[in-house]
Amino acid sequence: MANNAGLIEVKIVKRDVVAEDIIALELAPAGGGSLPLADAGAHIDVHVAPGIVRQYSLCNDPAVPGSYRLGVLKEAESRGGSAGIHANFQPGQTVTISAPRNNFVLAETAPNSILLGGGIGVTPLIAMAYRLQRLGKNFELHYCTRNQARTAFAAELAATPFAARVHIHLDDGALSQKFDPATLPPAASGTHLYVCGPGGFMEWVISNAEKLGYPDERIHREYFNAEIDTSGGAFTVEARRSGKSVVVPEGKSIADALSEIGIDLPLSCEQGVCGTCLVDVISGLPDHRDMYQTDGEKASNKQMTPCCSRSLSPVLVLDV
């Protein structure tokens, strides 16, 4: 189970190459016992090396206890996360993870669900498909990948009880098999959409869903690998509880600027996708640059993500 810091020691019990540049890791408790139950869509932090923590979605059937499974794509631009896992994580080794968290929650009572995965973004959707199948719900899983060699988990998906609901769309395949967002059910059907994949894929699916009239609350999204944009003028952050303030120049994050004056915030992805660093805003106008909060949450300006967001007002007062 998790220690006081919420961390868990696990052992790598299996490592498989499941596609070109993609491995699957199976993790079980290092000291025996059990792992916390994880809902479909959940992710964990994986401590890859000192100072390098990355988030990975769980792709196992959430109803089967005993281990977690991850799919890890070796990113071409890896800054040590996925490349470190590919190079160093071997069966038998012990690694530290967080307890599962879920920012990508299934609306289990929906009449219909469409799961849309781009590349390795399919992982949380596989867990969701297992869950929806057990609930006897109506759903489809659309998995868009570059080519056959990059299609992880294809054999597993073909062997599941929901194989007939899985549609694989290859970028290099015939036009007739490519995913066409115009074929999504009408918004009036009450269908919920779940989208996970690279930024361009997400934007493409989401903008088409919006054109079809899908409301924000029925387009569930999980981003990974967001680009951080630290451009813009300097501003001042006042850390009200700590009684300190700091000028945040262009090119530096609020979190880094605060750290330099001795205020260390909890950070994880540092890309605006996980929500770990969320802080309350007391006054000022944040320039939200994260992918974590919904449009409604951003508009309320109650909280902001200091790992990547900035300020539209000259002074931003935070409850830190």
**Complex with ligand FES: residue 89 or 292, whichever CB lies closer:** 292
C-beta neighbour count of 87 within 10 angstroms:
12
Least Å from the CB of residue 269 to ligand FES = 4
Q: Which two tokens stand for residue 42?
A: 């959940």
Q: Does 275 bind ligand FES (CB under 6 A)?
A: yes
**Complex with ligand FES: residue 83 or 267, whichever CB lies closer:** 267
Q: Which two tokens stand for residue 103?
A: 């920012």
Q: Which of 28, 267, 282, 312 binds ligand FES (CB under 6 A)?
A: 267
Q: Does 292 bind ligand FES (CB under 6 A)?
A: yes
**Complex with ligand FES: residue 126 or 307, whichever CB lies closer:** 307
Q: Which of 95, 141, 277, 318 binds ligand FES (CB under 6 A)?
A: 277
Least Å from the CB of residue 303 to ligand FES = 11
Q: Does 222 bind ligand FES (CB under 6 A)?
A: no
Q: Does 272 bind ligand FES (CB under 6 A)?
A: yes
Least Å from the CB of residue 259 to ligand FES = 13
Alpha carbon of residue 189 to chain centroid: 27
Alpha carbon of residue 188 to chain centroid: 28
| Only segment of 108-116, 143-151, 158-166, 274-282 that touches ligand FES (CB under 6 A) | 274-282
Phi and psi angles of residue 248, each rounded to the nearest 5 degrees, phi first: -105, 110
Q: Does 290 bind ligand FES (CB under 6 A)?
A: yes
Q: Tell me, what DSSP letter sits at residue 183?
A: G
Phi and psi angles of residue 14, each rounded to the nearest 5 degrees, phi first: -155, 140
Nearest to 125 by CA among 95, 145, 97: 145
By CB under 6 A, what part of segment 231-250 binds ligand FES? none
**Complex with ligand FES: residue 192 or 220, whichever CB lies closer:** 220
| Only segment of 15-23, 71-79, 132-140, 263-271 that touches ligand FES (CB under 6 A) | 263-271
Q: Which of 115, 307, 318, 320 binds ligand FES (CB under 6 A)?
A: 307
**Complex with ligand FES: residue 22 or 257, whichever CB lies closer:** 257
Question: Cβ distance 97 to 44 under 8 Å?
Answer: yes
Cα–Cα distance between 199 and 139 in angstroms, integer? 24
Calculate the alpha carbon distances from 198 to 91, 132, 201, 203 in Å.
29, 24, 5, 9
Alpha carbon of residue 211 to chain centroid: 24
**Complex with ligand FES: residue 207 or 294, whichever CB lies closer:** 294
- Going by their DSSP bridges, the two strands 310-311 and 94-98 should be labelled as unpaired
Nearest to 270 by CA among 81, 14, 11: 81
Phi and psi angles of residue 130, each rounded to the nearest 5 degrees, phi first: -60, -45
Q: Which of 276, 293, 303, 311 binds ligand FES (CB under 6 A)?
A: 276
Cα–Cα distance between 34 and 277 in angstroms, integer? 28
| Only segment of 58-66, 176-184, 190-198, 267-275 that touches ligand FES (CB under 6 A) | 267-275
At 65 the three-state DSSP class reads coil
**Complex with ligand FES: residue 185 or 275, whichever CB lies closer:** 275
Q: Which of 19, 46, 170, 274 binds ligand FES (CB under 6 A)?
A: 274
Q: Does 53 bind ligand FES (CB under 6 A)?
A: no
Nearest to 51 by CA among 73, 75, 81, 30: 81
Rule CB under 6 A: which residues touch ligand FES? Answer: 267-270, 272-277, 290, 292, 305, 307
